[in-house]
Amino acid sequence: MEALPDPELKYFRLDFHGNIDAEFTAQIFASFNASKEKFNASKEKPLKGSAAATLYRIKKIWVCTVGPIPVVFTADNPVKAAGELNVEAGLEYSNSWAKHFEVGVKFENGKWSGINEFTDSKAEEDKAPCSVSDNANFKATFEVMGGVKFESKIKLYGVVGPIIELAIMPGLHDGELTYNRADGFEFKAVLGIKFTADAKVALEIPVLNFAILGFEPEIGHYSDIFPKQPLHKSGLAACPAKDDKNEDDKKEDGKKGRYLLSGVVKDAATGDPLPGVRLQFIAKGGHGDIEFVNTNKNGEYFITLDEDQYEIRATHDGYVEYTEEIHLDQAKKRNITLTKPVESTEYRVILNWNETPTDLDSHLLGASGVDDGQYDYHLYFRNMAAYGEESSEIATLDVDDTNGEGPETVTFKASDAGKYTYYIHNYSRENYGDLPLKDSGATVELYKGDKLVKKYAVPTDFDENSNIWGVFTIDHGEVKDYLEQTSATALEESKLNAS
């Protein structure tokens, strides 16, 4: 009998790891308002004439009689050159400090070595032109105007009367100036003439040249800007854009490159990001190298790897281990959803997709008993829970995502005699003309208890106008895939329309 070969240790790793994150933020806010009005001229004239009179300040008292009663009117009509400056500004400075540490031992390439790493965590390189640990965010809103104001005030007996105020103010309106370290300055404003009209009633009771009572309630207001000429400039003093890979990592003479792989790990039942998830990236190209990374406090991970085929493993205490394979030949974003084990008689369906289309909807049709062609419930975004005997909850739409990427999660109890059909509707395509279902990158994971039953990917050969993807049916405990999508689409579209 041939002797068995001696076992050989290829790889071993034991470590203690984690993230340390700290952030400091300071804010300053200020508001400044200034206005200046100056009389162009002051000259008494009778209250008569044409529009030319509005070039002066008209201040006059005249008396007329109504029968034996004298009626006294006072008029005050100044024309003013005016300017206004309104500024509100805020400055926020933040400095984040993020470190990743690992200590332990490993056996690799035939020798033991210690692990003692204390490094900067990766920044979110795919969302900014460059990465900065500290950042200054400045925002100011402003209006700068200069023009003419005219006020007409007429009082009966110097006590009560109407006030009409008109203003014509050309300048910059709705101005906004912002700055941050990555994107630089951005300037936005509207160039135009602001027309303003106000109508008031003046009431003033003078005694010995002093007013003991005076107020001016407003009875009408109008304000508009025209013509409106938008002004916009961005990218001033921005830091230089980063390439997806360093110059040393680019392909040259057939050599493999290095690429950034990033994403967010979320909880299937809540959709919340999960910090501290351990991810392994195992190269499948023959050399078997393993890279490790942990998600930060926002559930994000970032790692730069050689071009290769990788197996991704994600583990977290209390969650089912997640695995998938990915071919890395360019910078990619790959989000991951982890689920906690459900009951042994329960299924959990997790839908993920790309950023667009923004809204894919999960639909579950369930029948727990007699197979009469009818379903007991239709679970979807307008009916997010189904109930069985004694009002017990038998199905829930745990997460309804309407902003792209997912997850959208359904959990349901299944009886051995029941029938359950799951399909997906491209809501945003049908209602808003978003991307077709075949281009969504949608994936569906079906779990039972603590096991992954099957993973599905949306067929890329779908018709452009197909908005329904029939994924599977569980019939008397057997999972049956929809292979002919045309018949599945027709079947489920009729049920969707009926609902």
Percent of the chain exceeding pLDDT 70 equals 64
User: How far apart are the C-alpha atoms of 62 and 373, rounded to whole Å?
Assistant: 93
The tokens for 237 are 């003093």
Percent of the chain at pLDDT > 90 equals 25
Do residues 293 and 279 make contact, with C-beta atoms less than 8 angstroms apart? yes
pLDDT band at 98 (very low <50, low <70, confident <90, very high): low
Structure confidence at residue 86 as a pLDDT band (50, 70, 90): confident
Measuring CA to CA, how many Å separate 303 from each of 52, 90, 121, 204, 406? 75, 35, 10, 74, 22
- Find, among 291, 295, 294, 329, the residue nearest to 309 by Cα: 329
- Domains within the chain, CATH numbers bracketed: 1-242 (no CATH), 247-331 (2.60.40.10), 341-498 (2.60.60.30)
Q: Flag whether pLDDT at 451 surpasses 70.
A: yes
468 against 107, higher pLDDT: 468
Average pLDDT for residues 120-126, to the nearest whole number? 45
* pLDDT confidence of residue 107: 73
For 415, the token pair is 């009886």
Distances (CA, A) of 25 to 6, 22, 97, 300, 427: 59, 10, 12, 21, 40
pLDDT tens sequence across 297-322: 889 999 998 888 999 999 999 999 99
Choose the most confident range, by mean pLDDT, from 120-124, 133-137, 192-196, 312-316: 312-316
Q: What is the pLDDT of residues 365-422, one digit of tens each?
A: 998 876 666 788 999 999 999 998 888 899 999 999 988 889 999 999 998 889 999 9
Q: Which residue has the tokens 């990555």?
A: 182
Could you tell me which residues come within 8 angstroms of residue 23 by beta carbon, excluding any fewer than 6 positions away?
Answer: 94, 95, 96, 97
In the predicted structure, residue 124 carries a pLDDT above the cut 50: no
Q: Which residue has the higher pLDDT, 407 or 177?
A: 407
pLDDT for residue 81 is more than 90? no
Phi, psi dihedral angles at 173 (to 5 degrees): -125, 155
Which H or E run contains 491? Answer: helix 485-498
For residue 446, name the pLDDT band (cuts at 50, 70, 90).
Answer: very high
Q: Please compute the mean of the pLDDT values over residues 465-477 and round it to a whole number.
A: 89
Structure confidence at residue 395 (pLDDT): 95
Where residue 360 falls among pLDDT bands split at 50, 70, 90? very high
- How far lies 309's CA from each of 278, 284, 285, 289, in Å? 19, 5, 6, 11
pLDDT at 21: 59
Of residues 319 and 222, the one with the higher pLDDT is: 319
- Residue bearing the bigger pLDDT, 264 or 46: 264
Amino acid 250: pLDDT: 46
For residue 24, what pLDDT band results from cuts at 50, 70 and 90? low
Mean local confidence (pLDDT), 220-241: 74
| Per-residue pLDDT at 460 exceeds 70 | yes
Q: Say yes or no to pLDDT of 293 above 50.
A: yes
Burial class for 98, CB neighbours closer than 10 Å (0-12, 13-18, 19+): middle
Report the residue count for the chain. 499
77's tokens: 């009509």
